[in-house]
Amino acid sequence: MNTLPKGWNLVACADGAAVAEHVAACLLVDRLHWPDQPLGLATGRTMEPVYGALVKVVYALPAAEQQRLRQQWLSFNLDEYVGLAPGDAGSFAAFMARHLQQPLALGMDQVRLPAGLASDPGGEAQRYATDLARCGGLGLQLLGLGLNGHVGFNEPPCPAMAPCRCLELSSTTRGQNAAAFGGDARAVPERAITLGLAEILAARSLLLVVTGAAKAGILARLLAEEPSPELPASWLQGHPNLTLVADQAALGECGAIDPCFS
Residue numbers annotated as active site: 79, 148, 150, 155
Q: Output the DSSP codes for 241-260.
A: SEEEEEEHHHHGGG--EEGG
Report the C-alpha gap between 254 and 251 in whole angstroms.
5
Binding of ligand GLP by 124 (CB under 6 A) = no
| DSSP secondary structure code for residue 53 in this structure | H
**List 8, 46, 116, 237, residue binding ligand GLP (CB under 6 A):** 46
Binding of ligand GLP by 146 (CB under 6 A) = yes
**List 5, 49, 121, 152, residue binding ligand GLP (CB under 6 A):** 152
Residues 6 or more apart whose Cβ sits within 8 Å of residue 62: none
Binding of ligand GLP by 141 (CB under 6 A) = no
Contact 89, 125 (CB under 8 A): no
Binding mask 183-222 for ligand GLP (x = CB under 6 A): ----------------------------------------
Which alpha helices (DSSP H) does 3-74 contain, by range? 16-33, 47-59, 63-72
Residues 6 or more apart whose Cβ sits within 8 Å of residue 16: 49, 211, 212, 247, 249
Report the C-alpha gap between 223 and 258 in whole angstroms.
12
Binding of ligand GLP by 75 (CB under 6 A) = no
**List 91, 101, 141, 173, residue binding ligand GLP (CB under 6 A):** 173
Binding of ligand GLP by 44 (CB under 6 A) = yes
**List 45, 68, 70, 191, residue binding ligand GLP (CB under 6 A):** 45
- What is the signed CA dihedral for 229, 173, 112, 107, rounded to 10 degrees? -150
Nearest to residue 90, comparing CAs of 195, 192, 178, 186? Answer: 178
Binding of ligand GLP by 43 (CB under 6 A) = yes
Binding of ligand GLP by 128 (CB under 6 A) = no
**List 16, 38, 144, 149, residue binding ligand GLP (CB under 6 A):** 144
Q: Which residue is nearest to ligand GLP (CB)?
A: 144
Q: Which residues contact ligand GLP by CB under 6 A?
A: 42-46, 78-79, 144, 146, 152-153, 173, 177
